[in-house]
Structure 1
Amino acid sequence: MSSFDSILSRLDDRLDGALDHLKALIAIPSISTDPDYAGACRQAAEWLRQDLEEIGFRASVRETPGHPMVVAHHDGPGPDAPHALFYGHYDVQPVDPLDEWDADPFESEIIERNGRNIVTGRGAADDKGQLMTFVEACRAMIAETGTLPCRVTILFEGEEESGSPSLLPFIEANKDELKADFALVCDTNMWDADTPAISGGLRGLVGEEVTIHAADRDLHSGYYGGAAANPLTVLSRILGDLHDETGRVTIPNFYDGVNETPDAIKASWQKLERSAEGFLKEIGLSEPFGEEGRSIMELTWARPTAEVNGIVGGYTGEGFKTVIPAKATAKVSFRLVHDQDPAAIRKNFRAFVEERLPKDCTAEFHEHGGSPAVQLPYESGLLTKAKQALTEEWGVEAPIIGMGGSIPIVGTFQTELGMDSLLVGFGLADDRIHSPNEKYELKSFHKGMRSWARILTALGQKAGESA
């Protein structure tokens, strides 16, 4: 038996022990948003430090203005080996409403539900089960070979569920220690229960609030109607101009930095059999509303958007009041892809609004954050090696998918540490994260450990080597 086969055998044989470890971590109520659980957050950090030290890492608990970080290092086979930074979080969401849980959220069990074996408890999927798949893979590899195939740094934070206020300052203060060749992030999902996936891209985000001002007060619509500018009408026209008849955004230079998805990637997405009709039927709709000629996967993973998130103006209370409002406000968000520049999008949107203002009207803007998209090159060696490793473990091709939302830490790793991130997780859409009765599939946990062993081995190999 090869050393790699012995690692997989150890992971199989020690599954019950790994589950006991996970249940012990879940039992710690590390709710970061509630000050009453600060002690539990520290307890979870200390638990992870001790566990990592027992494996063979140099581990420490680091103080922050909020909940502590856990940082650990393993030198792997030597200073010339690739260096990975693995990120996860030990804090969890509150459990309210408690009466909707089938059992104690912090007394994890292995039960059968709907014909599937699951691990129950708050944090089972988000993110304790996910991060422990990596820790258990490292445990088995070190036990069998005495080392890891890569140099590995681990960063576990305790404030992800409360906005990560301490994370950026911590990274800025410890750049030299945390800098690696690439990052590994496990806080993502599979495509389905039998198909692993790699998230190759995350859309960025720009938020803008625009207020149109006209008269110096609300006006009687009978007395002034037809003569005075109506900010709601002006705003509605501007917002209506954001898209053309084909669904494309009309802001000048909006598509600068937007690349076409390679045909091979689009072909792999087509194999996933997600139809527009099926995707939209779940929310009571029937046909896509975005750019014409694009698949649902392209529209939600690889194309930018301009969405109106809210409009306020005039009288909105009970009954009816015939006024022309003095001002009207809209909140508009832009999801960005590839190399779009958040600052340029904001600037061009404001110019787009200003150019459409009639005389006597002014626009006031308020920004609500901005972050670039994150896109791992499709030809990246990280993707290629991880894809092959996952395919070997699961017996099906692992697709490279996109994510319509954002994971701020990935952008932080890119901007602050200059690192690309490989996003591989084993959660499922029905894991009920942030909700009562959170769970993690036993299959996800077991094969997740084996998958990380394969991925780390692949990332540590030089050209021409095999496991």
Structure 2
Amino acid sequence: MSDIHPSSGPTGSLPAGTALARVDAGLDQSLERLFALLRIPSISTQPAHAADCRRTAEWLRDELAGIGLDASVRETPGHPIVVAHDLGAADRPHVLFYGHYDVQPVDPLALWDRPPFEPAIVDGPEGPRIVARGASDDKGQVMTFIEALRALREADGRLPLRVSVLIEGEEECGGPNLRPFLEANAAELGCDVALICDTSMVGRDTPAITASLRGLVGEEIVIQAADRDLHSGMFGNAARNPIAVLADILSSLRTADGGVSLPGFYDGVTVPPDGVRARWREIAGGDEALLGPVGLAEAAGERGFSAVEQTWCRPSCEINGISGGYEGDGFKTVLPAKAMAKVSFRLVAGQDPVRVRASFREHVRARIPADCRVEFHEHGGSAASAVPTDSPMLHAALGALTAEWGVDAAVIGSGGSIPVVRELQETIGVDSLLVGFARDDDRIHSPNEKYDLDSFHRGTRSWVRILHALATAGA
């Protein structure tokens, strides 16, 4: 945001100055603790690692208790959740930090340059990097926050505001037990704002807060024509071809200018202010910055919006899969009885997933011939989420990030959907600030996952500044 500028004062003059010095002096010890966490193979989706997930939860509990928080391991039907509190600053705001300790499987193991659970610092093109499974997603990011708490306690003997911590162990396998846990413990976890460190910077050196996430509607449609597959010579042209019906329907979902044709689809959708859009163009570059690395050149969505805008702030309709007829090797002259497609809609703030799903089904049914029938199968649905741009908490965090990194922190959107953000809104009634220090080349979920050393170091320093800034936000 252009009206926020870096602080020019010396570190020692800042309210967080002593704690920042502790972060710098204790970096080696912080890395030792991070490496101890990274060595535990907490792969949540593999039953063989259930004990490792529990061991990770207990390790985090002990670390949080060791810096003065009231920490415990809470049971769920799956992997345990770690909860910790320091509510000593009774007259200050209350923040809830969310992260996850589970990691993705390491396959294919042969593509790793070193064992994935033997962390090391190696030289990279942009400087030293920490290499291990979970280094970026999400253990390294979680530890930036924990190490910031440690430095604040060591420097001041207390935290500048009330802090709760929730670290789950099932984010990488769908998080089936998080929402029930939030519902059952909503009173305990109530707070003023949630902080989530599981996102990325913009480019290499621009810190960012993700303030909006798109929602999702997923639909599978199956069109049935004849009661069996038919010989195309005997029935072709006379019998209805469900693939042709499906193709006509799918092509009708988009308008000539790249928009979505469903009636009422854009009801409630707003366009960001010109200043915000200009800032996005400045930090994200042209369409080629997003599309070039994947071999594309032209933004395919609504005309008048850049590629980044089409993913950060505009809703979409995409065909994710299509099948029907003979799909094996060679050729078979058949008229299929069925055709199927999987269609998803990414939603922005102001859109209702229930209405979008109903509009889509009505659109399809209106185009089904009388001698065909259609089935719909629902594949999830969630509304978008957004933090108000005038939030004092948002602006306080932006100022803290700007002071640490020396460039204006950015407010960005994300084309993806992060379920925990919506779950926190719906169960606890709290907005989230997504502040992450990952970089786009961190290879999360892939072999040789890494987290740049300066992401870890300056990420920790950033949290020290943010917590001090939030302590007086809105005062």
| Match among 51, 72, 85 for residue 63 of structure 2 | 51
1:95-174 equivalences under 5 Å are 95-174=106-185
Shift of 1:457: 0.8
Instruction: Kindly provide the CA deviation profile for residues 271-329 of structure 1, in whole angstroms up to 9, marking residues without a partner as x.
Output: 11521133222222221111011111210110000111111111222222222222211
| Match among 321, 326, 331 for residue 332 of structure 2 | 321
Identity among equivalent pairs (%): 57
| Match among 46, 52, 56 for residue 40 of structure 1 | 52
Structure 2 match to 1:447: 458
How many angstroms apart in 1 are the aligned matches of 2:371 and 2:43?
Answer: 52
Structure 2 match to 1:423: 434
Shift of 1:463: 4.7
TM-score by length of 1: 0.97
Structure 1 match to 2:188: 177
How many angstroms apart in 2 are the aligned matches of 1:174 and 1:36?
Answer: 29
How many angstroms apart in 2 are the aligned matches of 1:8 and 1:445?
Answer: 13
How many angstroms apart in 2 are the aligned matches of 1:123 and 1:316?
Answer: 39
| Match among 345, 351, 361 for residue 362 of structure 2 | 351
**Distance change >3 Å, CA 462–CA 233, structure 1 → 2:** closer
Say whether 1:294 aligns with 2:305.
Answer: yes
How many angstroms apart in 2 are the aligned matches of 1:196 and 1:54?
Answer: 30
Say whether 1:4 aligns with 2:16.
Answer: yes
Structure 1 match to 2:82: 70
Say whether 1:61 aligns with 2:70.
Answer: no
Shift of 1:223: 1.9
| Match among 384, 405, 419 for residue 408 of structure 1 | 419
Say whether 1:18 aligns with 2:30.
Answer: yes
Structure 1 match to 2:247: 236
Contact 1:413/1:420 (<8 A) preserved: yes
Structure 1 match to 2:227: 216
Contact 1:274/1:296 (<8 A) preserved: no
How many angstroms apart in 1 are the aligned matches of 2:16 and 2:332?
Answer: 74
Q: How many pairs align?
A: 463
| Match among 280, 292, 311 for residue 291 of structure 2 | 280
SS at match of 2:204: coil
How many angstroms apart in 2 are the aligned matches of 1:110 and 1:123?
Answer: 14
How many angstroms apart in 1 are the aligned matches of 2:253 and 2:296?
Answer: 22
**Distance change >3 Å, CA 399–CA 462, structure 1 → 2:** closer
User: Counterpart amino acid of 1:116?
Assistant: G
Q: CA RMSD in A?
A: 1.3
Instruction: Kindly provide the CA deviation profile for residues 244-289 of structure 1, in whole angstroms up to 9, marking residues without a partner as x.
Output: 1101111010111211112121111121152113322222222111
Instruction: Kindly provide the CA deviation profile for residues 61-81 of structure 1, in whole angstroms up to 9, marking residues without a partner as x.
Output: 111111111000001421x32
How many angstroms apart in 1 are the aligned matches of 2:374 and 2:105?
Answer: 40
| Match among 248, 252, 257 for residue 268 of structure 2 | 257
Instruction: Kindly provide the CA deviation profile for residues 405-425 of structure 1, in whole angstroms up to 9, marking residues without a partner as x.
Output: 111111100111111000001
How many angstroms apart in 1 are the aligned matches of 2:76 and 2:178?
Answer: 9
Shift of 1:53: 0.7
| Match among 345, 348, 361 for residue 372 of structure 2 | 361
Shift of 1:40: 1.3
Shift of 1:384: 1.0
How many angstroms apart in 1 are the aligned matches of 2:408 and 2:148?
Answer: 22
Structure 2 match to 1:395: 406
SS at match of 2:40: coil
Say whether 1:456 aligns with 2:456.
Answer: no
SS at match of 2:63: helix
Contact 2:203/2:284 (<8 A) preserved: no
Contact 1:133/1:445 (<8 A) preserved: yes
Say whether 1:337 aligns with 2:348.
Answer: yes
Instruction: Kindly provide the CA deviation profile for residues 201-253 of structure 1, in whole angstroms up to 9, marking residues without a partner as x.
Output: 11111000111112222222222222222111111111111111101111010
Contact 1:149/1:461 (<8 A) preserved: no
**Mean Cα deviation higher: 310-319 or 270-279:** 270-279
SS at match of 1:282: helix
SS at match of 2:283: coil
Structure 1 match to 2:5: none
User: Counterpart amino acid of 1:295?
Assistant: S
Shift of 1:180: 1.2
How many angstroms apart in 1 are the aligned matches of 2:289 and 2:457?
Answer: 31
Runs of 5+ unmatched residues, structure 2: 1-11
Contact 1:427/1:444 (<8 A) preserved: yes
How many angstroms apart in 1 are the aligned matches of 2:180 and 2:310?
Answer: 35
**Mean Cα deviation higher: 412-421 or 375-384:** 375-384
User: Counterpart amino acid of 1:147?
Assistant: R
How many angstroms apart in 1 are the aligned matches of 2:246 and 2:221?
Answer: 9
TM-score by length of 2: 0.95
Kindly report structure 1 stretches of 4+ aligned residues shifted beyond 4 Å: none
Contact 1:390/1:398 (<8 A) preserved: yes
